[in-house]
Structure 1
Amino acid sequence: MSGAIMSGKQFPSSETTAARLDGEAERKEAAMLDPVANAALVRRQDRRIVPLAAGIYLLCYLDRSNIGNAKVLGATTHHDLLSGTGMTDHEYTVALMVFLIAYAVFEVPSNYLLQKMRPSRWIAFLMLTWGCTTMGLAGTHSFASVTAVRFLLGVFEAGLFPGLVCYLTFWYRAEERSVRVAAVLASATLAGAFGGAIAFAVGHMDGTRGLAAWRWLFLLEGLPSVVASLFVWFLLPDYPETASWLSDDEKRLAADRLAEQGSRGDGPSLTWAEAKSTLVEWRLWAHYL
């Protein structure tokens, strides 16, 4: 009597396994052979994913770069950032550098946490924290406090862009991602344009409620990120397989499209061995250098 009978377990026959594998292969092949269904799904994803991702990055870049406007806002009347905190130009440069150090150090840990958590939850958390941190800059009065808050801002913003790129792999094939990443990056240009216009308008608030215009700038530009984090928590779809706005057929199609070239929300987590193999990749370091 065979081991399978002795154990009492029922194992699928080779014919059943082959039929299942053939069915999966046929479904994946059909997904690749149906350009109309593919195009319709991608368009539907674009309407949901790309505007949200671009808007999130716009707010991130706005909060990151507004310190430059705070430096010149009210400078002619000595109501600018440097005058209000007693910083020199050299100390201002150090505050900028500290942000970049934190940004570089915390990119990888933040992306690791994204793999462990739902994207909507982690990205919303980042938005909430960097928005509150930006608003906290309005209360700084010294070089030390500005530097400390800028460091925290770098910590919380570090994971966003690589996180968004990783997030797009849950939805798009390799050949589809470059255009979507470019659309997200383009929002930084809009942030630069909006940032200057907002700073000009906020300049007229100098002295309102006893606050200098540069303090109002940090408050008013940090607040949208805080508010938007609540919407991201509820509205940012995590994975195609859990998206309520996709039909069952569309979910299967999305999974089949990404079987070879994408990431899955229910897939295995990133291991430290995989992370190590990435960190020792010489091309990565050549790119940074």
Structure 2
Amino acid sequence: MAVGARSGRDEGEERPDDAEREAEDGGAEARPHRSFWKELPLLIGIALLLALLIKTFLVQAFSIPSDSMQNTLQRGDRVLVDKLTPWFGSEPERGEVVVFHDPASWLAGEPTPEPNFAQTILSKIGLMPSADEKDLIKRTIAIGGDTVECKKGGPVVVNGKELDEPYIYPGNTPCDDAPFGPITVPKGKIWVMGDHRQNSQDSRYHMQDSTQGFVPVDKVVGRAVVVAWPITRWATLPIPDTFDQPGIGNQTKATAMGLGAAGLAPVGLGPAALGLAGAVPVVMWRRRGLTSGTTGR
């Protein structure tokens, strides 16, 4: 009888587990749903962090400010530069369009754009390069160990092979304005030229500099792989077939880079947009978790 009496329960009597469950549900229902505006700082913070990582290690956008790479690149084009590949020890290949830091005051005397307030802030947190940084874009013609030359009236010759250069600006000659060579490119250096040959202050014009016109590989920022803007100009930047001749051919087929004679203007929009795109799913996932907690289910 004692056991039977103990197992019985008044209808109004509350079981301990029922009380605990109601307490949990009540606590969940009482948890406030955070508004989008409260989540916005988190979204911005994640976007900035992702943009910083993308800009530092993956890809960066640059604006073309000059005509030295016409017609491959036009003034005002935005190119995306692959910065990841060099981290794995890859070096520029012949035919690639590359962005590189000014190796020996090539841009001396060129005006430096005055950054606005937003650009100054972005450069301080690493989302844009400093206005003091000067970068250029050119096509890699020869790499370490190559012999390159170009006589007046003739083509560019690499390792004894004449280059057919359909990318040269219409009406230009390969090098009549500044013939050179033969020159052997030192290891760890590259020889660069603009596609608009008669409007490009490239390696030919800096042979008396401390670098003798060569660009150290460690000065290369990365490869320009695509024209991203304007949309009507969207295009990839492949390596021309002329660089695949026997005796010249690149060991691996890669995508070309690009720059110009004048300094490049870095653009923060590319990494920032990618960072924002990456941050949105994270915040939405977090908000979904909070919403699930609110319902208690």
**Which TM bucket (shorter chain)?**
under 0.3
Could you say which structure has the higher helix fraction? 1
Larger % of strand: which? 2
Greater relative contact order (Cα 8 A, min sep 6): structure 1 or 2? 2
TM value normalised by structure 2: 0.21
Structure 1 length-normalised TM: 0.22
